[in-house]
Structure 1
Amino acid sequence: MFEIIHCGSVRPQNNARVINKPILIHLPLVSVLALLGCSFTGFAHAEEVLGDNDNLSNAIVITAPQLKSPVTTSINLDETPALQSASDGASVLTQIPGFSALGNGGTNADPTFRGMFGSRLAILTDGAQMLGACPNRMDNPSSYISPASYDDVTIVKGPQTVLWGGGNSAATVRFERKREDFTTRNSRFEASAMVGTSGRFDRRLEGAIGNEKGYVRVEANESEANDYKDGNGDVVASAWDKWNTNIAVGWTPDEDTWLEAELGRGDGYAKYAGRGMDGTKFLRETAALRFEKKNLSSNWSKVEAQLNYGYADHVMDNYSLRPVSSMGGMGGMSMSGEMRSELDRRTRSGRVASTWDWDTVSLIAGVDAKHEVHRKGITSNSDGEEDYSQQQTGVFSEVTWFLEDERRVVTGLRLDHFRATDENDSTATAGETRRKNLTNGFVRMEKDLSSLPATTYIGLGHAERFPDYWEIKPSNSSLSGALNAFDGVQPEKTTQIDIGLNYKTKGVSWWVSGYAGIIQDYIIFDYSGTTKVGNVDAYIAGAETGVRYQLDDLWSANASLAYAWGEDSDNNDPLPQISPLESKLGLTYEQGAWTANTVLRLVASQNRISEDRGNVVGYDFSKSAGFGTMDINAEYRVTKNVTWRAGVDNLMDKAYTEHLNKAGNSVFGYAADESFYQPGRTIWTSLTAKF
C-alpha cells in the first residue's frame, strides 16, 4: 500500500512555464487547509460512527473479485491510502500486481501489463479513450487521467472481454465515477489538499447539488511538484504541474433513467529526464453525453449509449524548461539549438449497448465507432496539416450461460472494420488507405467450488489488433523492406489461455492467475539505427498471485508476486521491455479510526533483454540490477467526514533505477546507456473532507 512520488506557447523568462488556469484552481495552501479545518467541528469522533473496517481496500493484494466475473479486479481509489499521492493513471496501476510503467521523469509514465504496452492495454475513462498527440507517447492516455477525479478502477486481464473495443490483448482498464444519488440529500461537497517533499502540492474541490430529478457537478484540481532528489541526493529533472476542471449536468426523471452531459478541460507541463524535449503543453478538452435506461421490459434489462469527444493539443520543446544544448538528445543523440513541435489529435467516438436477461442466459450486444485525426506542424500562424486519420466501426456481443452445479460459460465475439489513411504529403505512402476487418472473441468457463469458498476459471481468447498511430506512422521505417511502417506493419494476433482461482474466507483471501499465449505478427521496434518497425512471432507466459491473512483482530499480512516472460520465436531472442520478477510483502494494522501499512517491495534483476529493440516508448539498452524499497503510510479517520493520511515512500532512501526506464538525456549529464534514478525518501501528508 504505497506509491513512490516520483505544448504554441510564448517562451517564458527564467525557464518558468506559465499556463492559464481557471480562477478556482488558484487555491493557496492556507486557504485550503483552513477550509478543511472548518469541517472538524460538529461531528462525532470516527471511532463512534465508522464501525468495522472489513471493506477497506488493499492495493497490494486484490482479494475479492466479483463473483459474476472472476477475471475482473476492482479497486476503490479513495479508500486506498497509497493512491492518494498518485499523479496520473500509471502511478495508480503500478500498485496492482502485473503492472509496471516506463518512466520519463516525475510523472506521465507509460503503463504496461505483463510486458505489453500501448494499445494492447486499453485505458478508458467513463467508457471513453483520451488519445494523446505526441508521436512518441510523451502524452500517453494515462497522463491525461487525474486519479482524484475517479472513484474506482476496474481491470479485466487478458483478451477476456469484447465490450470495450478490439485488440485489448493485455487488459482492459476502466477508470469510472460513481453515479450521483440525491434521493436522500440535496448536496455533497469534497475538498482535499496534499503536501510533500520536492514541493509536492495538490488541491482539489468538488461539489454537486441536485434532487431526485437531476443534478449539477463541478470539479477543479491541480497537482504540482519540483525536481526530485534521488537516493544519492542528486537532482533529477522531473518537475510538473497539471490542472483539470470538469462540469456535468445530469437528468434523472425516474429511478430507471439517467442522462448526463459533461465538459472537461485541463493543461500542464512536465520535465523529462529521459527525453530530448519536455512537454510544455498538455491541453485536454473533452465532452461526453451519456444515457442509460433500465427495466424496459421483462427481459430487456438495460440500454446504454454515449457520445464522446476528446481533443489533445500537445507542445514539446527543448528550451522552456531546460538549458539549450547542442547535445540534447536521448542517450547523447544530437539535438542542436532550440526546437519546438506542436501536434494535436481529435478523437470522436460513440457506443450503444443493450442487456437482456432470462432465467439462465444474459446477453449484452451493441455497436461502437471511433474516428481520430492527427495533425502536425501547428504554429501561431498555421493550423498545421493532417498526417494521419483512422476510422473504426464494430459490433460486439457477450453471452453468459448459467449452468447447473454453480457453473457459468461466458463467451463473446467482436467484428471490427478499420480504415487508416496516410495524410502526410511528404511520405512514400502519401494518400494511401489501408482497410482491414478483424475478429476478437473468447470463451470462458467459471465454476464456484462446492468443497471450498473459491471460484476457478479457464478462458481461451483471441485478439486481433490493428496497428495504432504510434506504430504505423509513416515516418517510421519498415523492418520488412516495405515502403515504410504504414505500408509494412501488419495487424497483431494474440491467442491466449487465462486460468485462475479466487479463494476467500473471513481470515484468508488468496488468488492466482496465469496465462500463456502465442502472438502472430507481434509489433516490435528496432532502434539499432534508423527507427524501424516490423512484425515477429512470439510466445508469452506468466502469472500473478496474492494472499491476505488476518493474523488477529488488529493485524493482517499480505503478499503478492508477479512474473512475465516473452520470447521472439523467429529469432530465439527474449522479447524486449519485459518487467522482472516482482514481489510485495505488507503488514497492516487497523484499530478503530486508525490504519497503518508498511510494504516491502522486492524486484529481481532482469538479464533477459533484447538490446536496441523495444516499443514506441523505450528499448532495452542494458541489463538491470535488483533492488528493494520500503514504504509506510497511515490513515486516521478524524470524523465520519474528515480523513487524514500520511506516508513515507522509499523510507531507506534507496538509490535505484527501474528496468523499464528511459536512458537519461545527455543535457542533464547522463551517458547513452545510463538510466536516471527514481525518487529518494519522499514524505507526504493529505487531508480530505467530505460532506
Structure 2
Amino acid sequence: MTSHICTRAHHGRAPTLSLRPLCALLAALPFAALAQDAALQTITVKAPKAAVQPVGAAAADAEALQSGRASSSDTASLLRNLPGVSLFGAGGVSSLPSVHGLSDDRLRIQVDGMDLVSSCGNHMNPPLSYIDPTRVGSVRLFAGVTPVSVGGDSIGATIQVDSPAPEFAAPGQGRLLKGQAGTFYRSNGNGMGANLSATYATEQMSLRYDGSTAQSDNYKAARDFKAAGPAASNKPTQWLGGDEVGSSSYKTRNHSLAYALRSDEHLVEMRLGLQDIPYQNYPNQRMDMTGNDSHQFNLRYQGQYAWGQLQARAYHEKTRHSMNFGEDKQFWYGPAGNVPGMPMDTEGKTTGLQVKGDIALSTRDTLRVGAELQNYRLDDWWLPSGGGMAPNTFWNIREGQRDRADVYGEWEARWTPQWLSQIGLRSSHVRSNSGAVQGYNANYNMEANAFNARDRKRSDSNVDMTALARYTPSANASYEFGFAHKTRSPNLYERYTWSTGGMAMRMINLAGDGNGYVGNMDLKPETANTLSATADWHDATGEQWGVRFTPYLTYVNNYIDARRCSGSGAMSACTPANQTATTGFVYLQFANQDARLHGFDLSGFTDLGRTANWGQFALSGVVSYVHGTNRTTGDKLYGTMPLNARAALSQRLGAWTGTAELVMVTAKTRVSAVRNELPTAGYGLVNLRGSYEWKQVRLDFGIDNLFDRFYNHPQGGAYVGQGQTMAGTAVPWGVRVPGMGRSFNVGVTVKF
C-alpha cells in the first residue's frame, strides 16, 4: 500500500524521481523491522497512568513530541494532539494555541518558567515562538480548572513548555559527554533546517548548548485559490502561482546555553537564550516581520528541605522587533511610487521574579504559597517614510508600562486514598500606563492631543479562586470536578493604541482577520467563572485502554471583544458606512462585553493487541467541541473551532513505529458578524508518520495531507498575503488562508 501511494507525485511539487528513495524507504522499513524483531527489545504502547499528573493537568507524549519535530518548526504545533487544543494561523513558527475557545493573552503560556510578552501590534512574537521544537523537553497543559499556583493574569488554560532538565554524570562515572545533531526537509515550501545539542557534565556540574535553524519558502495549497500573477503591481517579476500562499516564508535561528550546579538537595541553573529571525512573513497580516532579535536570561533555584521544596526564579528578556512589507507585498507607495514601505519598530523588556514553596504540613496536607513580580516595558514607533507618513515619527505606544504583583496560597489535602481536594486563592495587582503619543503630521493632532490630555494610569486589583476535587473510587476510574474564578487585565495594545486613522488601525490586529483595530483606555479586566469536570475510565494499569470525558462551561464578564468604531478625527475610518457593512474589511474598537463558552473534550485509546509478525497496534482519538456566544450582542465569538476530531492507528514493531492519522473538521457556520468573519467548509485529512530507530540514529518521515485535499482551516484567518496591503480595499475581501497541500517530510537525528 505504501509503495502504491508514493508513486503518485502531485503536479507542481517535487519531481517524482526525487521522491522514489523516500517511497522505497517507507515501503521497506516495516519489513526490516520484522527481520530484526527477535533481536530487539519489545516496545510497549503505554499511556500515562491515572493520577500521575497534577490535578487538572495533561502532558504531551514524548513520542508525539519527537515525531512532531519533523513536520513543523512551530512549537505550538506540538500541542495539537492534546484535547481541547487548536491553533490560530500566523507565521510559520508563530501560531497561537487556542484552548476551549480562549487564546493568546487569555492563556498563561510559560517557556522555561518565564512569562514572556508579545511585543507587536499583530502579536507576531508570541511566547512559544521563542523556543524551537527541537529544544522542547516537555509540554504540560492545564485546560480546565487551573490551580492558582500555575495560573494568574489569564482566564483560560495554562501551557508550560520546558527545555530538557539538566543532566549530570552518574556516581562514579566521572564525566558525561553527549550530544545529538539533526536535520530535516519538507517538500511543501522547500523547508529545511538543522539542530545541534551538546552536554558536558560531572556529578555536580552540567553545561548544555542547543542551537537550531529553520527556513521555508512559501507553501502551496492543494489547488488554486486565487488568480496567478505578480505579487504586487510594482513587483512584476515576483510571480505567485494560484496555489501559492504568499507571505508564508520564514527563517529563524535560536541558541541556548544552560549551566547548572547541584548538591544533594539543591540545584541552581542559569540559562541564556538568543533568537534571530531575519524574516517571518504573514499571509493573514498586512505587515511582515523583517526582524526579531531576543536576548533572554533565566536563573532558577530549587531546593529540598525538611519542610518541603523551595523554588525561585529571576528572568529578563529583551526583544527588538521590526515590521515592514516583505517580498510578496507592495513596497513602494504614493502617487509617484516613491514612498518606501512603512517601517514599524517595537522594543519590549520583560523582567520577572518568582518564589514558591511546597510545604508538607502533614501526610495529608500540602500548602503551596508563592509570590510573583513582572515588570514590562514597551515602545512601539513608526519612522517617517514620506507622503502622508511624514515628517514625524508616529508613536503608537510610547513608554508603555504594565507591572504585575501576585501572591497566592493553595491547600491540597488527601483525605483518603479515594478523595483529594485543592483550594486556592490568588491576589493580583496590575498597573499600566502610557506616555504621550504623536502622529505622522497635523492630521493626527486632534486624537493625539485628546489621548495625551487624559490620565492614562490604570490600576486593577484582581482575585482568582479555584476549588477542585478528585475522587478515585477504584483502580479503573477517577473523577475530577471544580470551579474557577479567574481574571485578566487588558494588554497594552488593547488599552493604549489610539488612532482611528484607517492606515493606523489596519496595523493593529491580534486576530488575523484583515480588519483594523483601535484601543480603549476604559477597558475593564475580564473575569471568568468556569465549571469543569473530567471522568477518566481506564484499565487498572492505565496502559491498555482509557476514556476521558471533560465537559465545561465558562461565563466571562467584561470579555474584551470588539464593536464597530466611531470617531471624528481628520483621517478617521470610523464612518457611518463602517457601522453597517456586512461585507469587506471593517474597523473596530476593543470593548468590554459578556460572553459564554461551553463544550466538551472526549479522548481515548486502546491497545489492539500484538502479533508475532506485525507487532503491536493501538488506536487513539480525540473529539472536541466549543460554542462561544457574545451575551451582550448575541453575536458569535470570533475564531472558535467547530466540532473536530482526530483518530490515529499506530503500529510498533521492534525499532519501527508507524502511525496513520485521520483529521476531521465540520463546517464552520457560527461566525462573528461584527468582524465579517467568513464561514468554512468541513474537511477530512489523512496524515502518515513513521520512524525507525537504531542505537544512535533515528529516522523520522511522513506525509501530511496524503490525498492533497484542499481546505480552509477555521482559524486560518483572512488572506492578505500579497498586493497593496497597506490600503483598505486594494486587497480582495472574502479569501481565506488555505491549509497546506501534500508535503513529504523527513528528519534524521544522530546521537553521539
Per the TM superposition, whether the score is higher than 0.5 is: yes
**Aligned with residue 557 of structure 2, among 500, 507, 520:** 520
Q: Which amino acid in structure 1 is aligned with residue 260 of structure 2?
A: G
Alignment of 1:442-461 (within 5 A): 442-450=466-474, 453-461=476-484
Contact 2:636 2:673 in 1 (8 A): no
Q: Which residue number in structure 1 is paired with residue 490 of structure 2?
A: 467
- Relative to 1, partners in 2 of residues 1:143 and 1:181: Cα closer, same or farther, differing over 3 Å? closer
Q: Which residue number in structure 1 is paired with residue 131 of structure 2?
A: 145
- Relative to 1, partners in 2 of residues 1:248 and 1:507: Cα closer, same or farther, differing over 3 Å? closer
**Aligned with residue 537 of structure 2, among 481, 503, 524:** 503
The alignment status of 1:100 with 2:161, answered yes or no, reads no
**Bigger Cα Rg:** 2
The alignment status of 1:351 with 2:354, answered yes or no, reads yes
Q: Which residue number in structure 1 is paired with residue 683 of structure 2?
A: 627
Aligned length: 619
- Relative to 1, partners in 2 of residues 1:475 and 1:66: Cα closer, same or farther, differing over 3 Å? farther
| Separation of aligned partners in 2, 1:488 and 1:124 | 28
C-alpha deviation, 1:68, in angstroms? 5.1
Alignment of 1:358-437 (within 5 A): 358-377=362-381, 386-426=398-438, 427=448, 428-430=450-452, 432-437=456-461
Q: Deviations over 1:582-629 (max 9, x none)?
A: 01121111111111000110100111112233xxxxxx5211111111
| Separation of aligned partners in 2, 1:540 and 1:101 | 17
Alignment of 1:197-346 (within 5 A): 197=187, 198-232=189-223, 234-237=243-246, 238-252=248-262, 254-268=263-277, 269-294=279-304, 296-297=305-306, 300-319=307-326, 322-324=329-331, 338-346=341-349
Q: Which amino acid in structure 2 is aligned with residue 536 of structure 1?
A: Q
| Separation of aligned partners in 1, 2:45 and 2:607 | 14
- Relative to 1, partners in 2 of residues 1:335 and 1:293: Cα closer, same or farther, differing over 3 Å? farther
Q: Whose RCO is larger (CA < 8 A, sep 6+)?
A: 1
Q: Which amino acid in structure 1 is aligned with residue 138 of structure 2?
A: D
Q: Which amino acid in structure 2 is aligned with residue 149 of structure 1?
A: R
| Separation of aligned partners in 2, 1:476 and 1:521 | 23
**Aligned with residue 594 of structure 2, among 530, 537, 544:** 537
Secondary structure of 2:413's aligned partner? strand
Q: Deviations over 1:17-62 (max 9, x none)?
A: xxxxxxxxxxxxxxxxxxxxxxxxxxxx9868863433667xxxxx
Q: Which amino acid in structure 1 is aligned with residue 79 of structure 2?
A: L
TM-score (structure 2 length as normaliser): 0.78
Contact 1:77 1:150 in 2 (8 A): no
| Separation of aligned partners in 1, 2:64 and 2:640 | 30
Contact 1:498 1:514 in 2 (8 A): yes
**Aligned with residue 494 of structure 1, among 509, 522, 528:** 528
| Separation of aligned partners in 1, 2:670 and 2:260 | 52
5+ long unaligned stretches in structure 2: 1-34, 225-242, 385-391, 439-447, 506-517, 565-577, 579-585, 611-615, 725-730
Contact 1:462 1:495 in 2 (8 A): yes
Q: Which residue number in structure 2 is paired with residue 7 of structure 1?
A: none
The alignment status of 1:645 with 2:631, answered yes or no, reads no
Q: Which residue number in structure 1 is paired with residue 18 of structure 2?
A: none
C-alpha deviation, 1:435, in angstroms? 0.8
- Relative to 1, partners in 2 of residues 1:129 and 1:88: Cα closer, same or farther, differing over 3 Å? farther
- Relative to 1, partners in 2 of residues 1:134 and 1:65: Cα closer, same or farther, differing over 3 Å? farther
Contact 2:195 2:212 in 1 (8 A): yes
Contact 2:344 2:382 in 1 (8 A): yes
C-alpha deviation, 1:534, in angstroms? 0.6
| Separation of aligned partners in 2, 1:250 and 1:46 | 40
| Separation of aligned partners in 2, 1:320 and 1:240 | 11
- Relative to 1, partners in 2 of residues 1:666 and 1:288: Cα closer, same or farther, differing over 3 Å? closer
C-alpha deviation, 1:181, in angstroms? 2.6
TM-score (structure 1 length as normaliser): 0.85
Q: Deviations over 1:562-597 (max 9, x none)?
A: 000111112222222211110112111111111100
**Aligned with residue 610 of structure 1, among 661, 669, 672:** 672
Contact 2:308 2:358 in 1 (8 A): yes
- Relative to 1, partners in 2 of residues 1:383 and 1:350: Cα closer, same or farther, differing over 3 Å? farther
C-alpha deviation, 1:118, in angstroms? 1.9
Q: Which residue number in structure 1 is paired with residue 735 of structure 2?
A: 674
Q: Which amino acid in structure 2 is aligned with residue 469 of structure 1?
A: L
Mean Cα deviation higher: 453-462 or 313-322: 313-322
C-alpha deviation, 1:161, in angstroms? 1.5
Q: Which amino acid in structure 2 is aligned with residue 457 of structure 1?
A: E
C-alpha deviation, 1:405, in angstroms? 4.8
Contact 1:577 1:660 in 2 (8 A): yes
Contact 1:158 1:168 in 2 (8 A): no
- RMSD over equivalenced CA pairs, Å: 2.6
The alignment status of 1:593 with 2:637, answered yes or no, reads no
The alignment status of 1:193 with 2:175, answered yes or no, reads no
Q: Which amino acid in structure 1 is aligned with residue 487 of structure 2?
A: E
Q: Which amino acid in structure 2 is aligned with residue 552 of structure 1?
A: G
- Report sequence identity in percent: 21
Contact 1:567 1:575 in 2 (8 A): yes
Q: Deviations over 1:144-186 (max 9, x none)?
A: 2312112110001134221234133220000012322323251
C-alpha deviation, 1:284, in angstroms? 1.4
Q: Which amino acid in structure 1 is aligned with residue 183 of structure 2?
A: A
Q: Which residue number in structure 2 is paired with residue 688 of structure 1?
A: 749
**Aligned with residue 54 of structure 2, among 66, 69, 94:** 69
